[in-house]
Structure 1
């Protein structure tokens, strides 16, 4: 992988170009490419969530089997995010992102042709591995092209890709399944993501130094603190390993793991919950969760802006604020009155708070507290915990829902109570851990 995706060597600084204009041009292309391509590729990760009820109703898979298939993606994604995070720091990220998108798309297309449990388990696990190329490539691009005191805003813009991908899944993929059957829940995202991968390859660029440009920190004059004179320069791999000695990284990783339990609980089981516990149709449930993802777009941008502008690029105060919003939304969703306006308010608050926390805990805060040259490794360290949490969620939630489901007069009756307690408890834990890092040191 190092050879296939290797980054170019640093080039001599160029004096024949307008550096400001060149930076502005590349930065615009890169933020658009990583945001839009990642959003489309995200549908290839969530497609299975839309087809759970059709697959259960057709007797193809049980909730327990779907939980196992879903967790396969999270386990391989967790391992891949760590490994590929380290790879991304050495890589030409446009190659890494494009390859991940196209290979993930092919896995989805193949899923639409299979109804065999072990085949789908293998395909969805491979999909998780290829999906794990995406976030490290995007985060390395962000660290390479956007400086310290502006990164929160641009990271927030990129983080809207998660919500856009969820919205595309809940709205468009739900419609494809409703009109064309469950197989189109995989084929539609796969076809679109192949096109997104090709477009991202031609829009993106390697690190600025490989193009003969200065580093973004030098260009912007934006450094946290100068390196002490005489300090020996570490190699990339040694710097990657050094993040293991930062206690805040471990706390952040645990907070992100707990946060991802709730995040993927709603993504994975929210459609089923609204259908069975609230009596929504597939289209209505998809529309409701689409509203949550639209709120998430606002939440991602708002988190970056609020933490940069009001808290001086400090994330913990914003973590507390957005964590409280998320908890209020969850409590309203599960324990509020059976009123569609209240449910809509609940999913909007959840989307705002959750996506703000994902923006911070899922990568931005890790980049802040680790050396920027190893942004991919920092993301990978947090990511492996995040997606182990998501994988555990998928198995535990599937088992809890399956164990508390029973048949009455030939009709399935669901009791989501134990699963809901698990989801809310993890959300509370994530908020407490994220807030505990109040005075964490930031690094250049």
Structure 2
């Protein structure tokens, strides 16, 4: 059996794979799906940890005596370092493989989350949140790389959305989990410490199960390996390239699709991170919700995003399997999602009822998370070789919105005493997202 440079395969594993290929009825193993379920859990924990401060924010704001402007600055701290690390960590993923990077990331952000529970004031909490940003940076680009390596081309829509669905799942479950931990321990500090320790333990599980390619995994058989690699060969032939290529970012800057990818993710995150960071405080101050109601409302809103994302990925792959072209599928689904997001946000600004606001925000998240399909775009544009660095560039652009949006919303709320213009800011982000998803060409790899 031919073995690429991805790593050694044991003789016993090689033998078992050869035996499994005898006969036409050989059934493929499904390690790739198990791996992506683990990544779903990983990203969910990622968002529980990064969003924990938003749930605990009413208590932190009171303890540290923070005005809205400083609240916005504190909420942005994570995104400054998270964004700046995206392109470097994308290069590291392409160079050293996703397994090592994602494991180090998981252990590091768990430790930083626990450390944030020891913060004594604004400055130390700000620094701890920056530390979480540095250490979490590798997770999503590594997931995009694993999607390119492990998934058949016709399964990448589901792979991308399973990966990215951890974000709304973690945000929704995190609201309940962190609120429960605060209630049980009587302290927001202990909730952060416990969450951080659990994340470190998860990092060890990730290292044990994840591999950089299907041939390295002890659980795959020859049928699953060949199924994936046949797809890779067909993609390389269609693109007119070999499996290798340069690991570089600069050659992509001349392409419209590259910038559409980056701006689409920026617009998406302008909405998502705005609701993730300021949503709980909005429900507290504008709708009068207590901590328990905030936790459950957050669960409903972001839970709708989780369901929407899974449905969006399955729908995209089904439409592709029916023979519809990549551009028709992606532009139709993502363009429609952008329209629904904008309309839902406008509705929140004009309808004052609290429960209606929760219902509309749930609708917004349901359709917004269809754009999680974007995590298949780095492999479409750059192939397996450059999926990491392109994923890093995309996530860097998105997280510019991550650190700008909390600050802008804080300034708006501080100046106006209202969330109306903040919600309209989110509408503007949805429009940027909509224009970008309709501009991007999803049908071909970029030539570099």
Q: Name the TM-score class by shorter chain.
A: 0.7 to 0.9
**1:41–1:196 CA contact under 8 A, matched in 2:** no
Give, in whole Å, the separation in 2 of the partners of 1:82 and 1:12.
Answer: 31
Question: How far did residue 222 of structure 1 move?
Answer: 6.8
Stretches of 4+ moved more than 6 A in 1? 19-23
**2:145–2:379 CA contact under 8 A, matched in 1:** no
Match of 1:250 among 256, 259, 267: 259
Kindly report which structure 2 residues correspond to 1:79-98, keeping only aligned pairs within 5 A, or say none.
79-98=84-103
Give, in whole Å, the separation in 2 of the partners of 1:289 and 1:50.
Answer: 9
Aligned to 1:441: 443
Task: State whether structure 2 residue 265 is matched by structure 1 residue 266.
Answer: no
Give, in whole Å, the separation in 2 of the partners of 1:51 and 1:236.
Answer: 45
**2:91–2:389 CA contact under 8 A, matched in 1:** yes
1:100-124 CA-to-partner distances (Å, cap 9, x unmatched) read 1111111111111112322222221
Query: Bigger shift: 104-113 or 303-312?
Result: 303-312
SS of equivalent to 1:237: coil
Aligned to 1:347: 361
Aligned to 1:332: 347
Change over 3 Å in CA distance of 1:211–1:60 after alignment to 2 = same
SS of equivalent to 1:206: coil
Task: State whether structure 2 residue 141 is matched by structure 1 residue 128.
Answer: no
Query: Bigger shift: 198-207 or 14-23?
Result: 14-23
Aligned to 1:299: 308
Question: How far did residue 8 of structure 1 move?
Answer: 6.5
1:300-326 CA-to-partner distances (Å, cap 9, x unmatched) read 112112222225444221111211222
The alignment's TM-score, normalised by the length of structure 1, stands at 0.87
Match of 1:74 among 68, 76, 79: 79
**2:378–2:388 CA contact under 8 A, matched in 1:** no
Aligned to 1:150: 155
Q: CA RMSD in A?
A: 2.7
Match of 2:188 among 182, 185, 189: 182
Query: Bigger shift: 420-429 or 262-271?
Result: 420-429
Change over 3 Å in CA distance of 1:160–1:316 after alignment to 2 = same
SS of equivalent to 2:15: coil
Give, in whole Å, the separation in 1 of the partners of 2:110 and 2:266.
Answer: 26
- Structure 2: tracts of 5 or more residues without a match: none
**2:158–2:313 CA contact under 8 A, matched in 1:** yes
Aligned to 1:237: 247
Task: State whether structure 2 residue 193 is matched by structure 1 residue 193.
Answer: no
Task: State whether structure 2 residue 425 is matched by structure 1 residue 419.
Answer: no
Structure with higher helix content: 2
Match of 1:205 among 193, 211, 227: 211
Change over 3 Å in CA distance of 1:60–1:233 after alignment to 2 = same
Task: State whether structure 2 residue 366 is matched by structure 1 residue 367.
Answer: no
The alignment's TM-score, normalised by the length of structure 2, stands at 0.86
**Residues paired across the two proteins, number:** 423
